[in-house]
Amino acid sequence: MVSISELQSYDHAAAYETVRHVIPEVEWAMYADDIEAIQRLKVEHDAVILAHNYMTPEVFHGVADIKGDSLALAREAEKVDAGTIVLAGVHFMAETAKLLNPSKRVLLPDLRSGCSLAESITPEDIAQLRKDHPGAPVVTYVNTSAAVKAASDICCTSGNAVKIITSLGVDKVIMIPDQYLAKNIAALTGVEVVTHPGACEVHERFTPLDIVQIRQGHPGVTVLAHPECPPEVVAEADFAGSTADMQRYVEDEQPASVALITECSMSDNIAAQHPDLEFVRPCNLCPHMKRNTLGAIRKALETGGPEIEVDPSVAAPARRAIDRMLEVH
Ligand code: 13P
Ligand code: SF4
């Protein structure tokens, strides 16, 4: 969190240096009022901003305190000391933060920030899958509601799914709700995976032809894909992993030219830190993530809402499924 002394010394012009390669100076100037207000409000309200890697650069580099993929945000949410968590992400992430740190006030800047995966499945769907596949444990992607997590045995993210499935030591699992993530993970584990017809509305739009065309236009490019992409797309990529895995890959391997087959802002945020690398930027936007504007974050801090609560009837079993995941990885 920003301290009073840091706040007093906050220098908008100096902060520009971190985003100079991805945000024009004239645009940065337009963000100054909101960014300075958010820095002040965080101190006044004892708040921290947890931001997913898909935030736009002015949010990610301008106001976020803790940044990461779904797994990192869950782990960090549990450790937050401040009284208020502003979750610059989507609804299931805010619910997860509330489940892991229930005494904190958790704010989601725009309640409409949903997720096509979370909306694709209900606890009743899980009950039916259990009936159809007796004995198979239910591994649930964190991109789901608390009620769906509560009906599950264990959660996973794209960053730990292989470890979670392997840890179960079984031949068959029910892995929901992302059919593509499930198929991509099945290919890596050799475990039989029963799934559900959910998909991410951002990643399902990528095609193998997109990658072929990127390679034709940028010879030598390294292609990294998110495992929510269809398996035929992942097969064309050089590496597949969560948003944090992709970031680590770029940092470790320093590919001269790289294409991230995922949500657009991810490339902008990493490109800001690696001006020497070429980023090819196929652009599919997540409309839910993009609702976390500076204006919406500022308003959430000013008004103390919208606040996320979890139905007490599902909180304990949902938390158990998340805790089991965090114990494995
Ligand atoms: P990760 O950041 O965990 O890779 O998830 C991507 C995503 O789509 C989150 O909504
Ligand atoms: Fe959901 Fe896809 Fe948006 Fe992530 S990118 S929040 S999985 S719709």
Contact yes or no for 88/289 (Cβ under 8 A): no
Within the chain, which residues score under 70 in pLDDT?
1-9
pTM for this prediction: 0.96
Query: Where in the sequence of the chain do the CATH 3.40.50.10800 domains occur?
Result: 4-114+289-303, 118-200, 203-280
In short, whether 53's Cβ falls inside 6 Å of ligand 1 is: yes
Q: Give the number of the atom of ligand 1 that is nearest the alpha carbon of residue 71.
A: 3
CA-nearest of 204, 198, 226, 180 to 119 is: 198
Q: To which residue do tokens 């007093």 refer? A: 8
Tokens of 247: 């970031």
Which DSSP letter does residue 184 get? H
Residue 6 pLDDT: 54
Residue 2 pLDDT: 47
DSSP notation for 59-107: HHTTT-SEEE-HHHHHHHHHH--SSEEEEES-HHHHHHHHHHSTTSEEE
What class, spelled out in words, does domain 118-200 have in CATH?
Answer: alpha beta
In short, whether 308's Cβ falls inside 6 Å of ligand 2 is: no
Residue 308 pLDDT: 98
Residue 8 pLDDT: 52
177's enclosing H/E stretch is: none
Residue 14 pLDDT: 87
Residue 1 pLDDT: 47
Please name the CATH architecture into which domain 4-114+289-303 falls: 3-Layer(aba) Sandwich (3.40)
What separation in Å is there between the alpha carbon of 284 and the centre of ligand 2?
Answer: 11
In short, whether 267's Cβ falls inside 6 Å of ligand 1 is: no
> For residues 236 and 224, what is the distance between their CA atoms, to the nearest angstrom?
9
> For residues 242 and 224, what is the distance between their CA atoms, to the nearest angstrom?
10
Superfamily, domain 203-280: NadA-like (3.40.50.10800)
Contact yes or no for 136/195 (Cβ under 8 A): no
Tokens of 255: 């590919």
> Judging by beta carbons within 10 Å of its beta carbon (0-12, 13-18, 19+), is residue 8 exposed, middle or buried?
exposed
